[in-house]
Chain A
Amino acid sequence: MHEIYSKTAPEVDYSQVKRIEGFETIQCEYSAYLSDESKLSPKPFDYLFFPRSEAELAAVIKMLNQQGTPFTVAGARTGLVGGCVAQEGALISLEFLDKVMEVYRDEPSGEWRVKAQTSVSLKNLDSMLRVKQLPSLEQSPVEAVRRHYAEFRYDPDDYFYPPDPTEMSASLGGSVVTNASGARTYRYGPTRAWVRGMRVFLANGEYLDIPRGRYTASPAGQFVVYDSKGGATTITIPDYPQPRTKSTAGFYTAPQMDLIDLFIGSEGVLGIVTSVDVALLRHEEKVSIIQFVDSDEQAVTLADALRSEGRIQLDFLEFYSGNALDLLRRLQGEEPSTVGMPPIPENAKAALFIEMSFDPHQADLDFSILEAVINDCGGSLERSWAGYESRELDRFKVFRHMVPETINSIIAERKKQYPGIHKLGTDMAVPDGHMREMWDLYRSHCEGLQLEWCAFGHIGNNHIHVNILPRNLDELEKGMELYEIFAQKAVELGGSVSAEHGIGKIKAKFLKYMFNPEQIDQMRRVKKALDPQGLLNPNDIFPVEVTA
């Protein structure tokens, strides 16, 4: 059904909520809260709140509503597009809503699920599930919770939460509102595919409990939200088509869509997610393989071949360009033990990282199909590194993540000389069959302008990150111009300008490449319906007028 009733949280005294007042104090003593990973600078704002419960959150929202004060919401502050960077009013940190509330088996589907508050980090969730140690559940006053947890522990299989964005210290709630994806998205889909329910607080301080499957849009494409005071808000979902690729640009929309999907990927502009129910997957043993090849083009060809080979199922398919490998080589030269992997072979000019199911105890291993595909593309399975023990998988993962981290360090170093310099990384995806064309575009432009650049990412989803490392402000400008060219081409080919990072504040200008003004207006109207005063996360996705 398309009608839903919002509820009110218990009343608490607003004055009890921990807060810091005054931008100067915040700047001095809470400097970590000024920005996220994008390092976008904030504009002065007046309050920093730390609600310790949903009731406190509701009290804060209600008070800010009364005052007409805009507010920005922060989770783990690991975002890349400035989503939680406050520019006026108040910043609300959700970090104290960090409890895992329940692990339970959903009977009809047989899935194990976790209900957790928004600020549980993905990394903590992962480690708790790995060792099946969730002390808050063991000590829960609710008998059913303790019983389900005991069942979970006695289940002989291991379970995990599949979405694996690179930044695992991100909060669960944050990953839901950005519809985060990672390497494993290739096989398992983005976060959206794993969210089974949520509680979301609206801009008026009331909340919705949305289990997946209960609330679907009417044939006319509408939802109605009834609040506790008898008011009714109608939301009309936009009718533009979704791009044929991974995308977190703009709101998700589909005919007769589930209400929960409207909030997933909405980057927090429609409501504040305080708890989520997610499904878990049974753990299988995997092998991680780094396959070295002779050129970037060969890597693209091999990726396409692996994707088309239906008899092979890969969990992920990632790409590292020749210049990304050179970055790692330089790092290895300086400090081999930090990198932790043997020296990258000299003849390796690009690499694919793949992960797939693997049984280390099988007496005979038959990977002849994989070997054949690789050989046909001119590669050789001997020119690879492989590991399947969990610490090998971890070591390979650390190695993969060194590329973006090294880029960050280099940018930081250059920022000392040119404070205006910042990271330039694309986040574009195109449909199958177009990766080669995009690659040639990236390469010809970057090399044409003799920029320092490298590329890596989820080639399985035709989604690679091109990073330009500007050496001065002139190169920064040239790089930004190139991004406009890349963005337009990606959209032209049916792709997305933001496949996983979101729009936030930094990518707002790219939205117009994907959506015409009428479509953007449809989105604005959804926003306006749920946040009439425009107080919630203003200036994320699209600048919204604040009405008093």
Chain B
Amino acid sequence: MKIVVCVKQVPEVTNVQVDPKTGTLIREGVKSILNPFCEYALDHAVRIKNSVPDVSITVITMGPPQARDVLVRSLELGADEGVLITDRKFAGADTWATSLTLAEAIRTVIPDHELVLVGKQAIDGDTAQVGPEIAEILGLPQITYGVEVNLAETRRQVRVTQEVEKGYEVIEAKLPALVTCSKGELVRRAPSFKDVINARKKPIRVVSANELQIPEEQLGLQGSYTQVVKVFPPPAKKSNLLLQNLEAAEAAREIYSFLKEKRFVE
């Protein structure tokens, strides 16, 4: 059985700072990592592989050449082979153009996919759109916010525990299907050093735009439906208002008004 996991290389968001003068991101010292939610998706795939015979995992990513690093990382964590979709023509893609490219790549390169797992969202974009959009383009049923992903006994269905506001719901869908994955209660894996060394021996296939059946005007910036027209730093965070010499009751009232203003209380 073939599981496809879509992964993305993202900057390590917690370290990203914005230059206050230009409003652009400061790239020095910012490391690129495997998007944490993609890692959870991979983790679900590896758990299935470890519990059920005849499962192989292909990881696929769309990005610049250095996105190869996240494929290697995925191979360390248990994937069997990687596919790197890279081409200058993909640059500037919004979620739609990205989803179209990835969906087409999955259709072309891994036509025998039965289960597609993606991370719920990427920590740089946080849109959570690509998963559902790929599902729509491939015509797959989708289950989002999966915290547990299992194959039902017949192996023709996937059973997913979905995070909902009140707790969890368990949902089934027939394969092929797409699941967007969330953290659940998994502790992140750590590969052995042997896995790290062996990952470099697993195959990675590189695919460029002309291998995909997508007209050029539907790729990258040209193919995007949304356009960013401005970036700017968020409004100054800390007003640093400091109140002193208040009686306890007064202080409580001030805090209460503040909470009300910020809509933490009705």
Q: Which of A's residues lie within 8 Å of B, judged by CB? A: 130-133, 153, 158, 287, 289-291, 336-337, 339-343, 360-365, 367, 381-392, 395
Contact = CB atoms under 8 A, between A and B. Distances in A.
B186 to A, nearest CB: 9
Nearest to B30: A131
Give 10 nearest A-B pairs by CB, closest first: A131-B29, A385-B190, A386-B193, A130-B29, A132-B28, A382-B194, A381-B194, A384-B193, A384-B192, A390-B31
Given A360-B69, A385-B192, A390-B31, 14 more contacts: A132-B28, A133-B26, A133-B29, A287-B196, A291-B193, A342-B188, A360-B72, A364-B200, A381-B197, A384-B193, A385-B190, A386-B193, A388-B196, A391-B33
B17 interface: yes
A384 B17 contact: no
Contacts of A158: 29
Contact of B193 (A153, A289, A362): A289
Interface centre among B12, B187, B191 (most CB of A within 10 A): B187
Contacts of B126: none
25 contacts: A130-B15, A131-B15, A131-B17, A153-B28, A287-B193, A290-B190, A291-B193, A340-B188, A342-B188, A363-B200, A365-B197, A367-B193, A381-B194, A384-B192, A385-B190, A385-B192, A385-B193, A386-B191, A386-B192, A386-B193, A386-B195, A386-B196, A389-B34, A390-B12, A395-B188
Contacts of B192: 381-386
A382 to B, nearest CB: 5
Interface residues of B, number: 26
Interface of B: 12, 15, 17, 26, 28-31, 33-34, 69, 72-73, 185, 187-197, 200
A387 B69 contact: no
A288 to B, nearest CB: 10
Nearest to B31: A390
Contacts of A289: 193
A196 to B, nearest CB: 23
A413 B233 CA distance: 45
A340 B190 CA distance: 10
A388 B31 CA distance: 11
Nearest to B19: A133
Contact of B189 (A291, A336, A342, A381): A342
A34 B245 CA distance: 25
B144 to A, nearest CB: 22
A360 B72 CA distance: 9
Nearest to A158: B29
Contacts of B73: 389
